[in-house]
Structure 1
Amino acid sequence: MTTSPPDPVDFPFPPLRGPGVEKEYGELRRACPVSRVRLPYGGDAWLVTGHEQTKKVLADARFSRAAVVGEDVPRIQPNNLAEEGGILDTDPPAHTRLRRIVARIFTQRHAERLRPGIRTITDRLLDEMEQRGGPLDLVQEFALPIPISTVVSELLGVPAEARPKFREWADATLSTTKRSAEEITQARQELRAYFSELIEKRRREPADDLISMMVRAKDEEERLSESELIRMAEDIMIGGHETTANRIATFTYVLLTHPEQMARLKADPSLITTAVEELVRYVPLDSASFARIATEDVELGEVTVRAGEAVLPALLAANRDESVFTDPDRLDLGRLRNQHIGFGHGVHHCLGAQLGRVELQEALGSLIARFPDLHLAADPDDIPWKTGGLLRGPEQLMVGW
Structure 2
Amino acid sequence: MSHNSVPLELDDAFVQDPYSVYAKLGAENSAHRVIMPPSVPLISGLPVWLITGYDAVRAALADPRLSTDLDRIDGLFAQKDPDRTKRGGFSADIASHMMHTDPPDHSRLRKLVSKAFTVRAVEALRPEIRKITDGLVGDLAEHEAVDLLDAFAFPLPIRVICLLLGVPVDEQEQFRAWSRALVSGRSPEAAAAAATEVAEYLGRLIERKRRMPGDDVLSRLVEARDVDDRLTETELVSTAYVLFIAGFETTLNALGNGTLHLLRNLDQWDALRGDRSLVPGAVEEFLRLESPVKHSIFRCATEPVRVGDVEIPAGDFVVLAIASANRDPERFEDPHALDVRRPDAGHLAFGHGVHHCLGAQLARLEVQIAFGALLDAFPGMRLAADPGELRWRNSTIIRGLETLPVRLNHR
The answer to whether TM tops 0.5 is yes
The sequence identity of aligned pairs, in percent, is 37
Secondary structure of the residue aligned to 1:100 is helix
Closer, same or farther: CA 385–306 of 1 in aligned 2, 3 Å: closer
- Supply the AA of the counterpart residue of 1:157: G
Residue 325 of structure 2 is matched in structure 1 by 318
Q: State how 1:291-310 maps to structure 2 within 5 Å.
A: 291-310=298-317
What are the superposed Cα offsets for residues 221-264 of structure 1, whole Å, 9 maximum, x if unpaired? 11111000000011010111132122212211211111111111
Matched, 1:149 2:159: yes
In terms of mean alpha carbon deviation, does 121-130 or 321-330 score higher? 121-130
CA RMSD of aligned residues (A): 2.3
Matched, 1:122 2:130: no
Closer, same or farther: CA 389–396 of 1 in aligned 2, 3 Å: farther
Q: Residues of 1 paired with 2:396 and 2:337: CA distance?
A: 26
What are the superposed Cα offsets for residues 283-334 of structure 1, whole Å, 9 maximum, x if unpaired? 1324435111111112112111111111100101111111111111111111
Residue 190 of structure 1 is matched in structure 2 by 197
Closer, same or farther: CA 155–328 of 1 in aligned 2, 3 Å: same
Secondary structure of the residue aligned to 1:215 is helix
Closer, same or farther: CA 31–388 of 1 in aligned 2, 3 Å: closer
| Cα contact 1:265–1:272 (8 A) shared by 2 | yes
Secondary structure of the residue aligned to 2:336 is coil
Match of 1:35 among 27, 32, 35: 32
Match of 2:245 among 238, 253, 257: 238
Closer, same or farther: CA 389–202 of 1 in aligned 2, 3 Å: farther
| Cα contact 2:65–2:301 (8 A) shared by 1 | yes
- Supply the AA of the counterpart residue of 2:310: V
Secondary structure of the residue aligned to 2:240 is helix
Residue 50 of structure 1 is matched in structure 2 by 53
- Supply the AA of the counterpart residue of 1:159: P
Closer, same or farther: CA 166–12 of 1 in aligned 2, 3 Å: farther
Structure 1: any 5+ residue segments left out of the alignment?
none
TM-score (norm 1): 0.91
Residue 6 of structure 1 is matched in structure 2 by 5
In terms of mean alpha carbon deviation, does 264-273 or 31-40 score higher? 31-40
Q: Residues of 2 paired with 1:297 and 1:21: CA distance?
A: 27
- Supply the AA of the counterpart residue of 2:371: L
Residue 382 of structure 2 is matched in structure 1 by 375
| Cα contact 1:174–1:389 (8 A) shared by 2 | no
Secondary structure of the residue aligned to 1:192 is helix
Closer, same or farther: CA 257–335 of 1 in aligned 2, 3 Å: same
Q: Residues of 2 paired with 1:277 and 1:46: CA distance?
A: 28
**Where does structure 1 differ by over 6 angstroms across 4 or more consecutive aligned residues?**
none
Q: State how 1:79-98 maps to structure 2 within 5 Å.
A: 79-80=86-87, 81=90, 83=92, 85-98=96-109
Q: Residues of 2 paired with 1:197 and 1:82: CA distance?
A: 17
TM-score (norm 2): 0.89
Residue 77 of structure 2 is matched in structure 1 by 72
Match of 1:214 among 201, 215, 221: 221
Q: Residues of 1 paired with 2:183 and 2:73: CA distance?
A: 17
Deviation of 1:281 after TM superposition, in Å, equals: 0.3
| Cα contact 1:377–1:400 (8 A) shared by 2 | no
| Cα contact 1:256–1:262 (8 A) shared by 2 | yes
Q: Residues of 2 paired with 1:289 and 1:167: CA distance?
A: 25
Residue 342 of structure 1 is matched in structure 2 by 349
Q: Residues of 2 paired with 1:160 and 1:397: CA distance?
A: 28
Structure 2: any 5+ residue segments left out of the alignment?
none
Matched, 1:256 2:259: no
| Cα contact 2:254–2:291 (8 A) shared by 1 | no
| Cα contact 2:250–2:292 (8 A) shared by 1 | yes
| Cα contact 1:203–1:212 (8 A) shared by 2 | yes
| Cα contact 1:121–1:146 (8 A) shared by 2 | yes
| Cα contact 1:386–1:395 (8 A) shared by 2 | no
Residue 395 of structure 1 is matched in structure 2 by 403
Residue 187 of structure 2 is matched in structure 1 by 179
Q: Residues of 1 paired with 2:11 and 2:172: CA distance?
A: 31
| Cα contact 2:77–2:86 (8 A) shared by 1 | no
| Cα contact 1:174–1:390 (8 A) shared by 2 | no
Q: Residues of 1 paired with 2:2 and 2:260: CA distance?
A: 43
Match of 1:226 among 208, 211, 233: 233
Deviation of 1:212 after TM superposition, in Å, equals: 0.6
Closer, same or farther: CA 299–71 of 1 in aligned 2, 3 Å: closer
| Cα contact 1:175–1:389 (8 A) shared by 2 | no
Deviation of 1:13 after TM superposition, in Å, equals: 5.2
Closer, same or farther: CA 16–65 of 1 in aligned 2, 3 Å: closer
Deviation of 1:395 after TM superposition, in Å, equals: 2.3
| Cα contact 1:287–1:316 (8 A) shared by 2 | yes
Q: Residues of 2 paired with 1:128 and 1:169: CA distance?
A: 22
Match of 1:101 among 96, 105, 112: 112
Closer, same or farther: CA 3–389 of 1 in aligned 2, 3 Å: closer
Match of 1:133 among 120, 143, 149: 143
